[in-house]
Amino acid sequence: MVNQKHLEKEWKKLIKSERSYLNRNLHALNGNWQEKIEKLVPQKFQSTLDKTFLKAFDLIFEKGTTVIEKTYNREKLEQDYKILEFVDGVKNNRSSLKAFGKHAAKSRMTNQVISIAEGVGMGALGIGLPDIPLFLGVLLKSIYEIALSYGFAYDTIEEQLFILQVMEAALLYEQELLNMDRKLNRQISGIEPPEIALEEQKIRTAKALSNELLYLKFIQGIPVAGIAGGISDVVYQKKITDYAAMKYKRRFLWQKRSIIKMQE
């Protein structure tokens, strides 16, 4: 029996975290350095970056998931979830409910360290565009582990679509962010089914990443100076995975709330 009192406390805490995230990320932070670099970026670099991100998504979703899974133990993560679910069923308190989020947070911290090493290393060598598959690989690894920590698979078309939508939303600003966040919440609650094909969403998410990382990936292609661009990898990984963790937690808690309603 799900404890409604503890569940509602966690739900209210989640809502507060979501509002805080939206307030912090509602406006883009543009520095003067971007205006200076804009003059140096070739006109074709944007379209090249769009295509590079899109190809990276195609590569990872078609063949790369099995490669990513070699970097962690999927079976163990699935077993860990079942153990936490069993403990929560026995203890039925707020501590056992919060354990799922703590478990997800551990993998996020590990992947952020990996992202720092990968981004700075590539930046020091002046490797920009070739870094993108690695950047996305680490990012998706982190999201996959978050999904498993909350009891969700990630290898169906529906889940790939959800992950891409989450990634796009985390890179939007102003009303676009608020609209996309509202749409995702409605999808999670079953009010509004997704009305976009996977291929179209790949293009949208690739474009969102390209727009956000345009200047940073350009300077990452400059040896040594590219370290600054490489550091951006972990900044955006944290931003996206923070948002992904909230959306998966919302799905997790929404399912448990639905169970309570069925039991009433």
Q: Write out pLDDT tens, residues 205-246.
A: 998 988 877 645 544 544 444 444 445 667 788 899 999 999
Average pLDDT of the chain is 80
Least confidently predicted of 34-38, 153-157, 204-208, 239-243: 34-38
User: CB neighbours of 29 closer than 8 A, spacing ≥ 6?
Assistant: none
Angle between helix 226-263 and 132-149 (nearest 10)? 20
> Which of 49-53, 84-88, 169-173 shows the lowest mean pLDDT across its residues?
49-53
C-alpha to C-alpha distances, 237 to 99, 168, 197, 232, nearest whole angstrom = 23, 12, 25, 8
What whole-number percentage of the chain has pLDDT above 90?
40
pLDDT at 130: 58
The residue range of the domain holding 178 is 4-263
pLDDT band for position 52 (cuts 50, 70, 90): confident
Q: How far apart are CA 173 and CA 180, in angstroms?
A: 10
Return the higher-pLDDT residue of 114 and 249: 249
Confidence of residue 112 (pLDDT cuts 50, 70, 90): low
Q: Over the stretch 115-148, which tens digit does the pLDDT of each residue have?
A: 544 444 444 434 444 567 878 888 899 999 999 9
In the chain, where does DSSP find H-type helix?
A: 4-25, 32-38, 45-59, 65-69, 74-91, 94-125, 132-149, 157-170, 174-188, 198-220, 226-263
206 touches 50 (CB < 8 A): yes
Predicted confidence band at 38 (pLDDT cuts at 50, 70, 90)?
A: low
Is 80 exceeded by the pLDDT of residue 77?
Answer: yes
The residue ranking higher by pLDDT, 108 or 17, is: 17
For residue 91, name the pLDDT band (cuts at 50, 70, 90).
confident
Q: Is the dihedral of CA 31, 35, 37, 38 positive or negative?
A: positive
Give the separation between CA 145 and CA 149, rounded to whole angstroms: 6
DSSP 14-37: HHHHHHHHHHHHSS----HHHHHH
Region of 92 (left: φ > 0; alpha: ψ -120 to 50; beta: rest) is: left
Stretch 7-12: mean pLDDT, rounded?
A: 92
Contact 116, 234 (CB under 8 A): yes
Average pLDDT over residues 142-165: 94
What is the length of the chain?
264
Domain count, the chain: 1
| CA distances for 215 relative to 106, 108, 212, angstroms | 31, 26, 8
pLDDT surpasses 50 at 159: yes
Sequence-distant (≥ 6) Cβ neighbours of residue 177 within 8 angstroms:
22, 25, 26, 169
Token pair belonging to 247: 């959306």
Residue 69: predicted pLDDT? 86
Distances (CA, A) of 51 to 46, 54, 111, 130, 204: 9, 5, 25, 12, 11
